[in-house]
Amino acid sequence: MVSEIQGPALLGDLGATNARFAILDKGTVQHVRILACADYATIDRAVRAYLDGLETRAPVRQMALAVACPVIGDAVKLTNNPWSFSQAALKAELGLDRLEVVNDFVAQALAVPQLAPGDTRQIGGGAARAGQPIGIVGPGTGLGMSVLLPQGEGWLAIPGEGGHATMAAADDHEAEILGRLRRRHGHVSAERVISGMGLTNLYETLAAMAGETDVIGLEPWQVTESARSGANPHCVEAVKVFARLLGTVAGNLALTIGALGGVYLSGGIILKLGALFDDAGFRDRFEAKGRFKSYLEAVPVHVVTNDLPAFLGLKTVLGQHGHSTPG
């Protein structure tokens, strides 16, 4: 159980594009606001802008941040965002008594045990086995990944950077796509094709493979909308390839960690695609592991439909960890 903390705390979920903030008071998440990272030169300016926008508030002396990058030591540098900061310096600058900084998918993982039945929808598989590992993977601006392991009566979240592992092709069509991207980028990570930029990369590559010489650049949201409407066949195919590649990665994760407790998919892209994603071949590819197909057929996959799962995880961080940041 998550223990109550004294006084209000500030929660922050820092991604490549948006910074989401909220106040946690007496176990309740309040005053959620989303700020565009590009509008603020530094994290402390974004925090102050959020706090200044609150009509009334008690002094905030605690903060928990989920950041889209590895957290190793005091220095934090977001992977797809120019923000960087020293944890000790940020704590002093904001006058905090306590600062907790974790990888964003640690927060996503710690949210899983707190999700209500209406916070997910299941895509295939059977029932989760109690006390077994759980995998979490989520495409957004990048591709996050983590593992949740049972520990006593609670859970231990293991951060990872699996989104930057090399993407493998499962058929000749994917091999051609990845080959073209490899000639352009050198290394093709899973994130290069399973993310917002991944949708754009897949669309452009598929159009080029079809012989189009004047490919119109599309933003990820435009690829999604064109796929939903069926207006552009290359966008439709891009979503199908995206879903199948995610199935490959999620199935690999499930086998690697023995995720009999299930796999959870998070991220706004999947929610925007909705039924289009469910019908695009993800589940077939997730299970397509040869002799271990029957093993994966039993593993449930859940799409997280809660809009702000990181805040649930950060509540757990504040309730479970009492140490302070250096400085």
Residues 130-142 pLDDT 10s: 999 999 999 988 9
149 and 281 both lie in a single domain: yes
118 pLDDT higher than 50: yes
Query: How far is it, in rounded angstroms, from Cα 2 to Cα 58?
Result: 22
Instruction: Please indicate, yes or no, if residue 73 is contained in any of the structural domains.
Output: yes
102 and 135 both lie in a single domain: no
Q: How many domains does the chain have?
A: 2
263 and 164 both lie in a single domain: yes
User: Over pLDDT 70: what percentage of the chain?
Assistant: 95
55 and 188 both lie in a single domain: no
**Confidence at residue 267, expressed as pLDDT on a 0 to 100 scale:** 85
CATH number of the domain encompassing residue 272: 3.40.367.20
Q: How many CB atoms lie within 10 A of CB 275?
A: 8
Instruction: Please indicate, yes or no, if residue 326 is contained in any of the structural domains.
Output: no
Domain membership of residue 285 as a residue range:
117-305
6 pLDDT higher than 70: no
With residues binned 3-state (H G I as helix, E B as strand, rest as coil), the percentages for the chain, rounded to 5, are 45, 25, 35
312 and 299 both lie in a single domain: no
Query: How far is it, in rounded angstroms, from Cα 240 to Cα 212?
Result: 20
**Confidence at residue 39, expressed as pLDDT on a 0 to 100 scale:** 95
Query: Any residues with CB less than 8 A from the CB of 164 and at least 6 apart, and which?
Result: 189, 190, 191
**Confidence at residue 323, expressed as pLDDT on a 0 to 100 scale:** 36
CATH number of the domain encompassing residue 95: 3.30.420.40
Confidence of residue 310 (pLDDT cuts 50, 70, 90): very high
Instruction: Please indicate, yes or no, if residue 253 is contained in any of the structural domains.
Output: yes
**Confidence at residue 287, expressed as pLDDT on a 0 to 100 scale:** 97
Report, as an integer, the average pLDDT of 79-105: 93
Instruction: Please indicate, yes or no, if residue 88 is contained in any of the structural domains.
Output: yes
Instruction: Please indicate, yes or no, if residue 175 is contained in any of the structural domains.
Output: yes
Instruction: Please indicate, yes or no, if residue 4 is contained in any of the structural domains.
Output: no
209 pLDDT higher than 80: yes
Q: Answer for the pair 134, 263: CB distance below 8 angstroms, yes or no.
A: yes
Structure tokens at 257: 């960690």
Residues 145-178 pLDDT 10s: 999 999 988 899 999 899 999 999 999 999 999 9
Residues 57-81 pLDDT 10s: 778 899 999 998 999 999 999 988 8
Query: How far is it, in rounded angstroms, from Cα 46 to Cα 70?
Result: 21
Instruction: Please indicate, yes or no, if residue 2 is contained in any of the structural domains.
Output: no
296 and 313 both lie in a single domain: no
Residues 248-287 pLDDT 10s: 999 999 999 999 999 999 988 998 888 888 888 999 999 9
Average pLDDT, the chain: 91
Confidence of residue 16 (pLDDT cuts 50, 70, 90): confident
User: Over pLDDT 90: what percentage of the chain?
Assistant: 77
Strands 263-265 and 134-139 turn out to be parallel
Query: Any residues with CB less than 8 A from the CB of 20 and at least 6 apart, and which?
Result: 12, 13, 14, 32, 33, 34, 35, 308, 310, 311
**Confidence at residue 98, expressed as pLDDT on a 0 to 100 scale:** 93
**Strand segments (E) across 174-323:** 263-265, 301-304
87 and 35 both lie in a single domain: yes
Full DSSP string of 68-97: SS---SSEEE-TTSS-EEEHHHHHHHTT-S
Instruction: Please indicate, yes or no, if residue 192 is contained in any of the structural domains.
Output: yes
**Strand segments (E) across the chain:** 9-14, 18-25, 28-36, 62-67, 75-77, 84-86, 98-103, 120-122, 134-139, 143-151, 154-160, 263-265, 301-304
**Confidence at residue 58, expressed as pLDDT on a 0 to 100 scale:** 74
* Of residues 292 and 215, more confidently modeled: 292
99 and 194 both lie in a single domain: no
**Confidence at residue 67, expressed as pLDDT on a 0 to 100 scale:** 93
14 and 140 both lie in a single domain: no
52 and 64 both lie in a single domain: yes
**Confidence at residue 55, expressed as pLDDT on a 0 to 100 scale:** 78
**Confidence at residue 236, expressed as pLDDT on a 0 to 100 scale:** 95
90 and 144 both lie in a single domain: no
- Which own/partner pairs from 278-281 qualify as long-range (CB within 8 Å, at least 24 positions apart)? 278/123, 280/239, 280/240, 280/242, 280/243, 280/244, 281/240, 281/243, 281/244, 281/247
134 and 277 both lie in a single domain: yes
